[in-house]
Structure 1
């Protein structure tokens, strides 16, 4: 008889006492790992898309417009970033700033941000738009280059008369007047500025009095509606833009007073950004807003470069971030740079010295003592021929300069009166084959501008800043008192020091 198993209960295999199926060891762990990896891949793909999007929004300007006669790279361990506020009306900016959409691009605001090598200190130096400077040769849209000329600082941005302006020409001008290498240039237009203030949720500002529409647009027949109340308030978007543009009705209605308020605004903006946290997560919305309306040099022309640079600033304390204006004085209705104060300021930045004379180069020192006074280096003019012109109304100034040059070994072929006597600073003119000799001559006149002139040998046009004296160019141990005492810290009260005049 065959024994059948039909109907017999056969114990199921691979069941536990609880009756649940056992999985092979490690399967659950591998599944979780697969899920995590998938999420990471998705996140990475998302970040990649964000960066790709940001890259697509960033605009760069032509580096071919930069001068071939630039300060040497690496002359300072810190970084110098030129920030230009453009009032161009193209790309939708006319809706915010008014004006003709086809008008040429102009710059009403510019400052050179020096990030010290220790990455714990920074200083922003504002350059008034009406400052009379020598604008060096700049590239035109057709590829031709201009000749050097004396003009207001903000006209450099308008060379070529294009809608988007000429950032390279402004950079050339800043390098020429400061002797500092500009590592990066950033141009912010109306849209970008307004968008940044919206992203951070508003910026605290302060006004000493009520301001009306006519204070922003002085040609209006009536004062118009109230734009700003007196005292501290929060602004963003269009209102923030109106705040930094307005200059009438406060103090002496000058651009210098407006610069002080713009410095206070940037300080408040930095406070908001720092309070939100300098992390990639927080920076991405800022970067998204900024890149849509920024024009930068090729060195910042990608999202990772732009965000990496921003992250490099995270350890700079607000109190150690200072705002100053280049030493200046009125020259008629324009502004002139005061020497040797300005030269002392540029020398301090080049040496990575803070406004109070401290070493911020990041180098370890054997002694915490104060910076030593540099030993003056004599200038030798052997073999260099110079002609000296008096560019002022001060009698005998050319003869004084000629005698000083002769004592240093230069051969002076003669002295004469310049074609104009309104030179605030000394200019060293030189032909294409005499650049190195001109640089040697310039050491005798700290703060002098170098100006290429076709057909010239080496000429010195003495300006009012020249007072005669030593041919040495020592590094100063401290900045002029007016520069240091007039500085604003980024953590200052927004209602302090708002107006000039």
Structure 2
């Protein structure tokens, strides 16, 4: 575990709006609807600072993120090899100097880190960002759309990588670039400029509101997931890293050429079947929208997932990067391509992260897209399904459904004996309020009466406080009251897993949650922990995945 430094439905095509930066890879003079979405993570736009393109090295797109993790391992291995020579330390410092760093979170809302498991491990969440910045000649050439040169960059690729606490599985959640959400207030760490909170705004605009830390803040606010790190890369970075890694096999159901009569498209041209792609061709694949399925951003995300899975398998199956010169090149490309948060700002930290990521076998990697619903030409998180997916990540539940049955030690009866019922003081609070429903009037009083009837003579209700609690819980402040708290839970049929220690209460406190808005008997809700079908999950070991080609883009 690298806790200290590396803590880590629709098929409708999208309608581009005027001014959306997109460009054809082969026709820099024309704007295409494909580039903006699969843009490589980068942090420039507001000057050369965000993008790091001044290095002239190609960078990686959103999808190559997973491969990056593995590449980093090789990158640092190169340093280790070179370290046996006298110049090792100086080269290490050189690589550290290549890495660009930005602030992790620019928002005001902070999400607490998850509670460690019994082994002291915690999950690791990394946001991968692909920037469409066209702030250098190289990025302009690769991205096209001359009219957008130097414009504020967009976070057109956004993927959350979740590494489980026990390091047995990995989940990836992609968010479509045109998802409408609330972006919190963000402050630029360099200029001090304050960007006020914005509602129903496309998520890709978050990058231009102070940097990648604002994209992190928007994700945390929407999902409630604590994000430990981010990594960003631009067009040039995708190309250079794809070249350094070598060919990655991808599959299409028919011959494809991603270009329409007006020149829109990524320029990708492949024959039917499997082809090994790298360099600019890899960037084209990751940016292709015209030609894949219905031409939507969702189809493009699926293609990116296929590429990432294939890349990971390729790196694991062909561990041939042992040549010092190749390792040195990979180390240069990886460190020059990335912009990361300060917690990942050295080669050693990146290597530690790659070591953690490499513990997961491809069969335990699950790629998903945030469930969505169309609102005009844009999308919003699909009610129910999106929150369910976020909950699974928050609770560290594997999206492949292969988690071992949890032996919940928290359900065991406390060693601390409970006092007699009539001696246990219990305060009941009303936590039935939800984001869409107000609190149930008098609910705390009703439940406290149930306890009084059962012999808890010191039960009382707090009629002045209304809180928000999804599940009914019983909290206690110290170990000597654990038995009392469990006695209260058992009396009402509340699972012992919902009894928890908290310094926010001064005595045994029962908070009636939104799951118990009515009735006298608490009914334990059996949660469905399966991944929503609308998340379009793809397993990392699936070698038969093949992108469906739109008949209008065959040759």
TM above 0.5: yes
- Cα distance in 2 for partners of 1:313, 1:258 equals 24
Deviation at 1:242, TM superposition (A): 0.8
Pair 1:67 & 2:110 matched: no
TM-score between the two structures when normalised by the length of structure 1: 0.66
- Cα distance in 1 for partners of 2:87, 2:156 equals 38
Counterpart of 1:239 in structure 2 is: 281
Pair 1:204 & 2:239 matched: no
**Contact persistence 1:58–1:296 (CA under 8 A):** yes
Cα separation, partners in 2 of 1:381 and 1:226, compared to 1, 3 Å: closer
**Contact persistence 1:264–1:498 (CA under 8 A):** no
Counterpart of 2:46 in structure 1 is: none
Q: Secondary structure at the match of 1:348?
A: helix
Structure 2, unmatched stretches of 5+, are 1-80, 117-121, 411-426, 446-464, 473-513
Deviation at 1:263, TM superposition (A): 0.5
**Contact persistence 2:154–2:207 (CA under 8 A):** yes
Residue deviations 1:261-301 (CA, integer Å, cap 9, x gap): 01101111112222343999786643321211211000100
TM-score between the two structures when normalised by the length of structure 2: 0.60
Equivalent of 1:94, from 134, 140, 145? 140
Deviation at 1:251, TM superposition (A): 1.8
**Contact persistence 1:232–1:494 (CA under 8 A):** no
Equivalent of 1:338, from 382, 385, 399? 382
Deviation at 1:226, TM superposition (A): 7.2
Cα separation, partners in 2 of 1:333 and 1:483, compared to 1, 3 Å: closer
Deviation at 1:79, TM superposition (A): 0.3
Deviation at 1:247, TM superposition (A): 0.5
Cα separation, partners in 2 of 1:442 and 1:229, compared to 1, 3 Å: farther
Q: How does 1:143-154 map to 2 (within 5 A)?
A: 143-154=193-204
Q: How does 1:309-458 map to 2 (within 5 A)?
A: 309-359=353-403, 380-381=429-430, 401-402=437-438, 404-406=439-441, 408=443, 440-441=467-468, 443=470
Counterpart of 1:186 in structure 2 is: 231
Name which of structure 1's ranges 94-103 and 139-148 shifts more when overlaid on structure 2. Answer: 139-148
Give the count of matched residue pairs.
Answer: 378
Cα separation, partners in 2 of 1:202 and 1:477, compared to 1, 3 Å: same
Counterpart of 1:219 in structure 2 is: 262
Structure 1, unmatched stretches of 5+, are 1-39, 161-165, 368-377, 390-397, 411-436, 446-467
**Contact persistence 2:250–2:546 (CA under 8 A):** no
**Contact persistence 1:202–1:236 (CA under 8 A):** yes
Higher relative contact order (CA 8 A, sep 6+): 2
Equivalent of 2:92, from 40, 43, 51? 51
Deviation at 1:335, TM superposition (A): 1.1
Q: How does 1:4-83 map to 2 (within 5 A)?
A: 43-63=84-104, 66-75=106-115, 77-83=122-128
Deviation at 1:119, TM superposition (A): 1.2
**Contact persistence 1:137–1:147 (CA under 8 A):** yes
**Contact persistence 1:111–1:126 (CA under 8 A):** yes
Q: Secondary structure at the match of 1:151?
A: strand
- Cα distance in 2 for partners of 1:489, 1:500 equals 24
Q: Secondary structure at the match of 1:380?
A: strand
Name which of structure 1's ranges 285-294 and 324-333 shifts more when overlaid on structure 2. Answer: 285-294
Deviation at 1:489, TM superposition (A): 1.4
Equivalent of 1:132, from 171, 180, 195? 180
